[in-house]
Chain A
Amino acid sequence: MHLLEAKNVHGGYGGMNILNGVDLAINADEIGVIVGPNGAGKSTLLKAIFGLLRVTEGSIELRGEPITNADPGELVLKKMAFVPQEKNIFPSLTVQENLEMGAYSRRDNYQHILEQVYHFFPPLADKRAQPAGELSGGQRQMVAMGRALMIEPSLILLDEPTAGLSPLYMADIFERIVTINAAGVGVLMVEQHAKQALKIAHKGFVLVAGQNRFTDTGMNLINNPEVAKAFLGG
């Protein structure tokens, strides 16, 4: 059984359809990467999966259980986390408060998770009392991912976690994503840095105009000359 499976997903904003039948599936220990041109509907797909956008046709399942158009709050309880592309922190809250908000749905003591997140993102530990809005772009991205990790997710959706970061920072974030995945967390992420992202991907999806253009393993996509030419910059 797949960890996450989306079948023939349609949806959009208002009356306009952006997703025109997307299929996608990843297993529990996998990293899935969605690439594609700007405006292809990558962010829209993640929002639709996370219940932030009405799915008008098709279905989405988490471990075989239907979650189509579920409430995001419900999905959080099912240990699914989402890091949006933009506005993914609470700028006036401190770093620590941002992480605490990630743990809002928890009823237990999550102090050890907090320490784990600080251990995983050392720059945050020094800034825990600082408003998150005062951090650098890379540090904000860490806050955003840290917030999502607070529920100890079994599936994490990441929308362009390396957007606007320098190559060094980017490699660093990818490395951390691999580590998170190695700890047993399924990852579905959208990336502009397609080649580097597909390198760490078990599954890759090339999305164009709200539909799958190519679906394969990460390596096969990189080695596919057609994909390389059109989507990976040669």
Chain B
Amino acid sequence: MNELVFFINNVLISGAVIGSIYALGAVGITLIFSILRFAHFAHADLMTLGAFFAFFLTALFPAIGPALGLPTAFVMLPLAMGLTALTAVYLDKAFYKPLRAQGVKPIVLVMASLGVTLMLQGLIRMFMGTSSRSLYIDDRKGIHRIDVPFELANRPIVITDPQILLILFLVVAVIALHLFLTRSKLGKAMRAMSDNPDLARVSGINTQKVVTVTWIIAGSLAAAAGTLLSLDVSLKPDLSFMLLLPIFAAAIVGGVGHPYGALAGGFVIGFAETLSVFNWAVLLRPFRDQLWFELPANLAFVPTEYKITVPFFILLAILVWRPTGLFKGKVL
């Protein structure tokens, strides 16, 4: 039974957690691609930036969380999301919008977003240094140990506060996004613009407003993902390097332009990672006498240090065999 608990902790919970992070990032990438037709490479840096804002706010008001019984950084999350959304809107105004007005090719916008990536990384390091920091300043991470009601199991299932908050946030965000896209006038206009931008203009849709709202949604989801991940692990300035490839892989696996596909893609990548670094020897150990081979101490598909290669290979496979993604999407 301990082996199963180990599996639940290391594959199911870890996969769901990292999958949620990837999903929140990938939804933003997919929305930006649908509306503005370019791959926004600086997206992972918006995630870092959001976490940075949350850290900054937590340092300013460290006592708020304990008073409410929640992590301070989580209480600060709406503000961090707002600040990141605002930053995203202004980054667009400053760097992407002038290029769009010139009618440049999408690749020029991609290059510009690479420039924005470098700029944001420089700025974040300038203010924060290169060390990793905890988003818990005056409070401590709540860790829940759930005992499994089986005799043979003496190890508990472990889940932390930030993990629970992350999953709850994702559920709420997805429902809200769905209602926005299918019920609100602006959300429908967003889908219309993704479908046919010229006709959207002809119909009198305020396309600038749609663009702004896209950045607000993408920016705030990115901030939430960055903050909740940093809350669970720690805030590192190079967070975006670890996130960039998986969130793009998730968006492409899901079929670019499909928000729900991006969501699914996030979990596909998340679980693929945890399944491939999982030490299967642990699960096989109870059966080691029946096995025809000597069970090694570590039996994982991919060593943990090489986890980043997993989304890379999934991405390659998808591009080769199903370039439109699991759901039908635009080919990048």
Contact = CB atoms under 8 A, between A and B. Distances in A.
Contacts of A100: 185, 188
A161 to B, nearest CB: 15
Contact of B188 (A52, A73, A97, A151): A97
B206 interface: yes
A221 B198 CA distance: 34
A90 interface: yes
Nearest to B189: A104
Say whether chain A's binding surface is mostly helix, strand, loop, or mixed.
loop
Given A93-B188, A93-B191, A93-B192, A101 B205 contact: yes
A91 B198 CA distance: 13
Given A93-B191, A93-B192, A101-B189, A147 B203 contact: yes
Say whether chain B's binding surface is mostly helix, strand, loop, or mixed.
helix
Interface string B189-206: 101101110111111111
A73 B196 CA distance: 15
Given A93-B191, A147-B203, A104 B198 contact: no
Contact of B199 (A73, A77, A87, A105): A87
A82 to B, nearest CB: 5
B255 to A, nearest CB: 13
Contacts of A93: 188, 191-192, 195
Contact of A104 (B194, B195, B196, B204): B204
A118 interface: no
Contacts of B205: 73, 101, 104
Nearest to A98: B192
Interface string A60-75: 0000000000001100
A102 interface: yes
B120 to A, nearest CB: 33
Interface string A73-105: 100110000101001111111000100111011
B198 A101 contact: no
Nearest to A80: B204
Interface in B185-225: 185, 188-189, 191-192, 194-196, 198-206
A102 to B, nearest CB: 6
A73 B199 CA distance: 11
A90 B204 contact: no
A101 B192 CA distance: 8
A234 B42 CA distance: 62
A50 interface: yes
Nearest to B191: A93
B201 A72 contact: yes
B199 A88 contact: yes
A104 B188 CA distance: 10
A90 B200 CA distance: 9
A52 B199 CA distance: 11
B201 A73 contact: yes
Contacts of A102: 203
A87 B198 contact: yes
A90 B201 CA distance: 12
Given A73-B205, A87-B198, A101-B189, 10 more contacts: A72-B204, A73-B201, A73-B206, A87-B199, A90-B200, A92-B194, A97-B192, A101-B192, A101-B203, A147-B203
Interface of A: 50, 52, 72-73, 76-77, 82, 84, 87-93, 97, 100-102, 104-105, 147, 151
Interface of B: 185, 188-189, 191-192, 194-196, 198-206
23 contacts: A72-B201, A72-B204, A73-B201, A76-B202, A77-B204, A82-B202, A84-B198, A84-B202, A87-B198, A90-B192, A90-B195, A90-B196, A90-B199, A92-B194, A92-B195, A93-B188, A93-B195, A97-B192, A104-B185, A104-B203, A104-B204, A104-B205, A151-B204
Q: Give me the 3 closest cross-chain CB pairs, A-B, nearest first.
A: A76-B204, A105-B204, A90-B195
